[in-house]
Amino acid sequence: MATTTATTLAASAGDGSSPPSRSTVMTIAAQAYHVLKINGARGFKNFIRRDELERSEYLNDDYFAIAAHVIIPKEKPSVVVPPSNMHLHYGDLLVSKEGTDVKFLVGGEMFAAHRLVLAARSLVFKAELFGPTKKGTIDAIQIDNMKARVFKALLGFIYTDIWPEIGHGKDNVAMAQQLLAAADRYGLQRLKFVYEDKLCNHIDTYSVSTMLVLVEKHHCCKLKEACSTFLSSMSPPIVEDPNSSIFGSELKKTVSSSENHGSQINRTDIRIQLWQNADV
């Protein structure tokens, strides 16, 4: 509570008359000090001089009285401002499909969205939907190499800025890896950093190989450091230098070979390659 205290010398104790000396003390709410102000200034500009006080009627038998007028203002009614719920409105817009003007075919599922929302959130979508190579004359834009649930989560983030949490387990970690890749694909750096940070806490002997693939393909510096720390902690350590070619050329060969043959990357093969190269 903020109060104002006006102090004056009184001709006699309690009469409250106002002499030439007057000061105002402002009590500031939630603070442990007082500010002495005189007509808007600080100091003793309008204090009565000692010799004047001794000759005045305000001094009686070496005593003088001070009248204090404390003003306690009534508290103004406060308005509780609710938190922003814009994300809820945009989320409802996505779910209702009202006003959608573009469709995506992902993993056999159809998704409807709004071009302007996508373009506002992603420069990649902006180029695809409004650039020279815009895809505006086809019924649905087909997106390859992405699962439907990943694209659904991606759209959810674009509209609401909320990302799905991941728990432990292979499926959850795989989902996080795919979301990181999707975020990088569409230039959603915030989402990419979120899952890069989360994946740093889910590195184990099963996931480290696919983590290294993410590092190589999506330039995840922090994840690279975390993988290096994990591999170095193994006995014997597999990798000592995070800038080692093991993270680069050999991994590229494995990834390239796997992609060219249309097969999935074998985690065990990558671990064996890393181990063998560490002994060279």
Cβ proximity of 160 and 183 under 8 Å: no
Mean model confidence pLDDT for the chain: 76
Give me the residue label for tokens 């390239």.
256
pLDDT in tens, 49-82: 778 878 887 777 778 787 777 777 787 788 889 9
Looking at the DSSP assignment, which residues form a beta bridge with residue 60? 63
160 CB neighbour count, 10 Å cutoff = 17
Angle between helices 249-260 and 208-218 (to 10 degrees): 90
Percent of the chain with pLDDT over 70: 65
Q: How far apart are CA 195 and CA 174, in angstroms?
A: 11
Q: Decide if pLDDT at 216 tops 80.
A: yes
65 CB neighbour count, 10 Å cutoff = 17
What are the backbone dihedrals phi and psi of residue 64, each rounded to the nearest 5 degrees, phi first? -140, 155
pLDDT confidence of 254, banded at 50, 70, 90?
very low
Q: Decide if pLDDT at 145 tops 90.
A: yes
Q: Decide if pLDDT at 106 tops 70.
A: yes
